[in-house]
Amino acid sequence: MLTHPQASSTALLIALSTASLPSYSENKGLVIEEVIVTAQKRAESLQDIPLSVSALSSHELGALKLHDTTEIAAQIPNVQVATPYSDSQPAFSVRGISMSDFSQNQSSPIAMYVDEVYKGVGALQALQLFDLERIEVLRGPQGTLYGKNATGGAVNIISRLPELNGVTQGDISVGLGNFQRKESRGALEFSNAYHALGARIAFTLSEADGWVGNQTMARGNSSAFRDLALRLSSRYQASEDLEMVLRLSKSRSKQNEGHEVLATNIGAGGVGFFTGYDRAGLDYFDSELDRQGGNSIDNTNASLSVNWDISDQLTLTSVSSYDEGEWTTEEDADGSPYNILHIDFGSQVTSIAQDLRLSSNFDGDFNFLLGLYGHREDLDASVGQRLFYSFAGDNDGSGTLDCFEDFVTGCRADNNFNQVKTSLAVYFQGHYNLSPELTFTLGLRFTKDDTEINNYNASLGYLDPATHSEVLGAIPTISDYQNEITDRNWGTRFALDYALSSDITSYISFTTGYRGSAFNGQAYYDESEITTAAPEEVDAWEMGLKSDLLDRRLRINAALFHYAYENQQFLDVTPNFLSVLVNADKSTVQGAEIEIMAIPHPTLDLRMGLGYLDSQYDKLELRGNDLSGNELINAPSLNFNAMINWRFLEMDRGHVYLTLDTNYTGDQYFDAFNNHNTRQEAYWLSNIRVGFQSQNGQLDIAFWAKNLADKKYVTFMTDLQDLFNFDYAHRGRTRTFGLDAHYRF
């Protein structure tokens, strides 16, 4: 078994979370290439590391035609992505660990990193996928090797860096597709003749018409989008011992015509109980909206990474970052031609972080990583909800507007607040080789989290039926509320990995996960709604096996796991319409995943993954109902993925290739009540790419299609029956297809 030295922290993080997968363009023979990470004078194989990791290489990202972060889960077992705000904000679920409160101030239990920079809230997470080296997904609690602790896992997005080879090079691609889709992306890099300084600038621009027709308004279809992103990466090798990387990026995702909302499972009386509207006569991908507001997310980021080899045995790494994000959504949340529920969301956030790590590369059996982490996130959020404006007035003839009697009909509920999160942590992970075959890993982390709520204000306004104008802030309901929570947590990790042979490694691990306390961001009527949820905690056991077989023509990695999950945070809506944040006392999740990669022929490679989950709430009460025994949300019992790359026609000038990928998602629930209405039945999604690549790899022209069968499914759903007589949902994308060309120079 290989030893576990740590040198540069960048190399360590790659070693612990990277899995380069084979591609037909890279394999000239029947061999799955070994993933090697070089830490100064040592090398380590990913197959020896006791973690459950899946990854998508840059080649696979192109073959899968992934556009944004909501599409990551397509080829990764036991990972799902819900879209509570359509494609503008991903909500990851890993092995059943997810979130049910999608307020703008909440952070996911699945940590997202872009080039080692933590992206906490939704306003920082809607990122285009372009010019990437790879995407990695780590399953299980993380913390002893990462800047920010995470309960359920981590998603790492790693962009390409310039090569310091003195060569100017780049690529450009353009594409067209249905729904008037137009896209272009490219990159240009250069480095000086001394191989010390290099820069790479990359961009992506894509736009398309909406894929949900609106029969009510003479405007474009909803979910039309225009995405733009730029990234500048510069790399300076000051000496053999010192390297610095500066990254600057700017991205914007915008939907001028709003995003699609599906009102489904509409009860008798129609949306809003009294409209009679039930979507009669509409196709699945049609709508009748009376509002098409804007939807946009803007991100700006700067980060500086420094790796300094202090000596042959010690490396110091610093990652400093600054993030800005702005998110606005103007939503027709009732999905109907009536003004029953219209919502405006808005948030602005700034985030600064500093990660400082010292790692070793000793010649002996012991090596370590020691880290200090600081993070501050300052967020301003606001929400405005227009309720039953279509019925605003004095409907009971009492002489008083209904809004001032029931506080719902014709009312507008607003809130706004400032939230500041500060996190300070110290973490350690060490490896000791007990024998040439057996290695023991110990990880420790101490975290102190402070969360402040400042200037929490809420009010009720109303629609004046005489003037058809809104009166804002007529009744203040919450005034300048302030509070603070401090959490302290010790996290641990123990692991033993044993080399059964030179090609087969096994491991067993125990890891604790933690997610800090949270304030309710959905309080409108009374201070009592501003509840706090206690920290989430997970005790995770895992056993795994990693193998390269048949002379490295077959790779099989598998894991079994058992989680004891405590205090999952829930947003609960009471019978009197108050929203409160609570905890699910206890849950249990257990399951398995297996990933198989094979190269049966030099022109053919295969990838398959299978995930199984058995989840239940052991103790949970919502709205006075005992939900113990129900399944966890976003936790399908079975999921499967497969991908085949086949280079089937060789010619003097190049070859023709075929990529087929498919994924199956089993039955899953979108709420803890496990209502049939909010259950998505199992479904398959399949995609295809057929193309020609020139012999020198410079030119690639391909036809692609996604959701070949035009499957109708939902990516998110929430129960609004008691309040509005329907369930709120987002549809999965309809069939899309197109042609693109890529040229490297």
Residue 678 placed within a domain: no
What's the burial of 597, exposed, middle or buried (CB within 10 Å: 0-12/13-18/19+)?
Answer: buried
Query: For position 143, what pLDDT does the model report?
Result: 83
The span from the CA of 259 to the CA of 694, in Å, is 39
pLDDT cut 70: percent of the chain above it: 93
List residues bridging with 539 in a β-sheet.
512, 564
State residue 35's pLDDT score.
52
- % pLDDT > 90, the chain: 73
The mean pLDDT value for 376-405 works out to 95
Q: Collapse the DSSP code of 99 into the 3-class scheme (helix H, G, I; strand E, B; otherwise coil) and give the result.
A: coil
First to last CA, the chain: 41
Residue 24 above 50 pLDDT? no
pLDDT score, position 128: 84
Q: Per-residue pLDDT averaged across 41-52, rounded?
A: 62
Taking CA atoms, 373 is separated from 12, 34, 107, 113, 321, in Å, by 17, 32, 17, 14, 12
Read off the tokens for 694.
Answer: 């020139």
Contact call for residues 207 and 257 (beta carbons, < 8 A) = no
Please indicate, yes or no, if residue 704 is contained in any of the structural domains.
no
The pLDDT, as a whole number, for residue 29 is 53
Residue 126's closest CA among 285, 350, 325?
Answer: 325
3-state secondary structure of 128: strand
Q: Is the pLDDT of residue 8 over 50?
A: no
Number of neighbouring beta carbons within 10 Å of residue 169: 15
Taking the alpha carbons of 726, 728, 729, 730 in that order, is the dihedral positive or negative? positive
Average pLDDT over residues 541-559: 94
CATH code at position 311 = 2.40.170.20
Nearest-angstrom CA–CA distance, 333 and 361: 55
* Averaged pLDDT score across all residues of the chain: 89
Sign for the CA dihedral angle at 59, 62, 64, 66 comes to positive
In degrees, rounded to 5, the angle at the alpha carbon of residue 512 between the alpha carbons of residues 506 and 515 is 135
Predicted local confidence at residue 62, as pLDDT: 87
Is 686 part of a structural domain of the chain? no
Question: Measured between alpha carbons, how far is 55 from 555 in angstroms, rounded to an integer?
Answer: 14
Confidence of residue 221 (pLDDT cuts 50, 70, 90): confident
Mean pLDDT, residues 4-23:
34
Answer yes or no: is 739 within a domain.
no
Bridge partner list, 569: 583
Burial zone of 13 (CB within 10 Å; 0-12 exposed, 13-18 middle, 19+ buried): buried
Where do the DSSP E strands lie in 500-553? 504-515, 518-519, 532-533, 536-549
Enumerate helices (H) and strands (E) in the chain, giving the number of each: 4, 43
Domain assignment present for residue 175? The answer is yes
Query: Is the separation of the CB atoms in 91 and 81 below 8 Å?
Result: yes
Rounded mean pLDDT of 597-625?
Answer: 93
Return the pLDDT at 18: 33
Cα 173 from Cα 195, distance rounded (Å): 27
Neighbours of 652 (CB within 10 A): 5
- Token pair 């790492």: residue: 156
Q: Is 263 a domain residue?
A: no
Residue 25 — very low, low, confident or very high, per pLDDT cuts 50/70/90? very low
Count the domains in the chain.
Answer: 1
Q: What is the pLDDT of residues 692-736, one digit of tens each?
A: 999 999 999 999 999 999 999 999 999 999 899 999 999 999 999
Domain encompassing residue 382: 9-193+306-643
- Residue predicted with more confidence, 78 or 14: 78
Q: What is the pTM of this model?
A: 0.91
For residue range 473-486, list pLDDT tens digits in order: 999 999 999 999 99
Q: Residue 107 in contact with residue 120, Cβ under 8 Å?
A: yes
Q: Is residue 400 part of a domain?
A: yes
Q: Could you tell me how many residues make up the chain?
A: 745
Give the pLDDT confidence score for residue 40 in this predicted structure.
25
Say which residue, 88 or 649, is predicted with more confidence: 649
Structure tokens at 382: 């606001």
Minimal CA–CA distance to 348: which of 381, 321, 299?
381
Q: What is the mean pLDDT of residues 77-93?
A: 84
d(CA 679, CA 255): 28
- Say if CB 691 and CB 647 are below 8 A apart: no
pLDDT score of 516 more than 60: yes
Query: Is residue 189 pLDDT above 60, yes or no?
Result: yes
Four-CA torsion 38, 150, 251, 347, nearest 10 degrees: -160
304: Cα separation from own chain's centroid: 23
Residue 442, in any domain of the structure: yes
Tell me the range of 45-49, 249-253, 255-259 where mean pLDDT is highest: 249-253
What are the structure tokens assigned to 634, written together? Answer: 């976003």
